[in-house]
Structure 1
Amino acid sequence: MIFFEEVTKIHNRVVSLENLNIEINSEKITVVLGKGKSGKTTMLNMINGLDKPDIGEVYINNINIKEFDSKILKSNCGYMTTGGNLFSNMSVKKNIYLLPKKLKWDKETYESRVQEYFEIVELNYYEYINKKVYELNEVEYYKIALIRAFLNNSSIVILDEPFKEVTVNTRMELQEDLIKFQKALKKTIVFATDNIEEAVKIGNYIIILNEGKLEVYDKAESIMSNPKSSIFTESLSNDLYLNMLESMKIEDYMIPKYGKEFSEKISENKTLKDALSYMFQKTVYDLDIIGENGKIVGALNVKDIIKALTYLKGDQNE
């Protein structure tokens, strides 16, 4: 648990955070959403000891961060910023193993953990571990940076706009990797972004900051169904809502299967956006849903997708 108690921070006579009171849920992805100079980075930097409140207190697991050794706090907290910050002149192995060696971890333990993390991002450990960083393409580079960020003994990972400079396709793949990391490791992830779609796709909870002040803190789906912040009301459009379907898994919205099989089928691991596109392509209104065992596990009708869109727009009474 991370708790901000009446936290105020001033940089160069400008208020970066003002009287922030917030409790960040453990083992969830909490997205801090805001435009430039909203206070996102200041908030994240206080969690890992890179910055300190001028007024107020910050607690991790009920312990005031002032009681932590700042060097240990920084080393143990997973961290990644825009650009990934890998050392381009070093090998993948040296980049990843810097922290474990510095903290004198057991070699067998961290090597086993690294191999597990390579599997999460779907990279072959033996193919990539000895490559130079400059030999990696964009998506490989950021996957390695994610692995390094999660390779720590802390339950907390801080990600400050890590995917801001990547292409759209790479961003989408890395977002999926991040979600897989959280499901596998159950860490508390605090992720800063100025991208609304990204916030809704990956976030279990969303914090919206505006000029250092807290505007909204709620579950992602609650914010989408009832947007109270200007950052949402100024940006929401039909295209955005359709793109939001990309973060909604079919398995969460399918209904029980009764009766005969439909002519078309789709995997439960696909998204509602995939299902809608497939329906348009095949000119059908119903799909059978196929589970990982290859068997039909449910069904989906176009009305189910419309209901999901309606909920996102907050038109529950229609």
Structure 2
Amino acid sequence: MPRPGPAGRVSGAPALVADIGGTNTRIALARGGTVLADSLRRFRNDDFPDPQAVLHAYLSAAGHPPLSGACAAVAGPVRNGAARLTNRDWALDLAALRAVAGPAGPVALLNDLQAQGHALDHLAEPALTGISEARAEPGGPRLVIGIGTGFNIATVHGHGPGCRVTAAEAGHAALPLATQEDLALARFVTGGTRLAEVEDVLSGRGLARLYGWVSRHAGPPQQAAPEAITALLARGENPAARATGEIFARLLGVAARNLAVTLLPTGGIFLCGSVARAMAPHLNDLGFAETFRARGRIPGEIGDFAVSLINDDTAALTGCAAALTGDAAWRRPATSVND
């Protein structure tokens, strides 16, 4: 029988880690900061009324094992121990997570991009694919850009257990507009009712909006799921998909460049998320590199940042496991881990 250890932990028991996205939730058990691969399960959020129901379903299927703690990464802002998803009417707080996880050990809430940041030092080399030829500066700040159901970023300062990962809601920044065509696109994706945001185009739904924008020249705007658009792009036989990809790559290049010169991530930029993984093989062919490296008045030594793709779609779970094993998480078991 497992026994309580330091800070109420259950000796030998695993921790519960969860990545709660706008569309899907991934849940696993972790021990010693390592995710147990055979414990991983994926759930469609549409099948559940709230995140607690998903967590209960997982633990029920796993036989309700004793836990040493729990950490959930949520696709939305975390503040004062509570999180609300940006692209789904779901909320989760530390009390609810504690009720699911049980009384032993710490519980923590992270923004999902913070979890990706915490994972960087724990990813095996095959989990990363280079997109640019620039070299990262060892020890420099790192920037994670997530593109999936939504868009967001996190900045990573330092390495190892003492690293600091800052939260953001960058998907709601204003969409960078350079031409009259960009302005018309912004009005199209918002219906002209509000300021266009980065997430309106650089996300799964944004990719679908771009496809509708491009296809309108041949008649009424066409509708297609993001997965269908990236499949058409990969086959290389659909001019509308190609044009959609070119706009996406250009706007991503501008957005990433703005973030890079603001945050100076000399340690590298890391793309993650389902849309990033689908688009990454095509980005440079579609013009991303040229836009991202456009100098303007930026000195050359500042404007050259390494860009990589995180291939592992469970990296946020690794980040949750890493955050739970860090000293700060154990010292503050009743608060959210927001840095």
User: What TM-score do you get using the length of structure 1 for normalisation?
Assistant: 0.25
Larger % of strand: which?
A: 1
User: What TM-score do you get using the length of structure 2 for normalisation?
Assistant: 0.24
Question: Which structure carries more relative contact order (alpha carbon 8 Å, separation 6+)?
Answer: 2
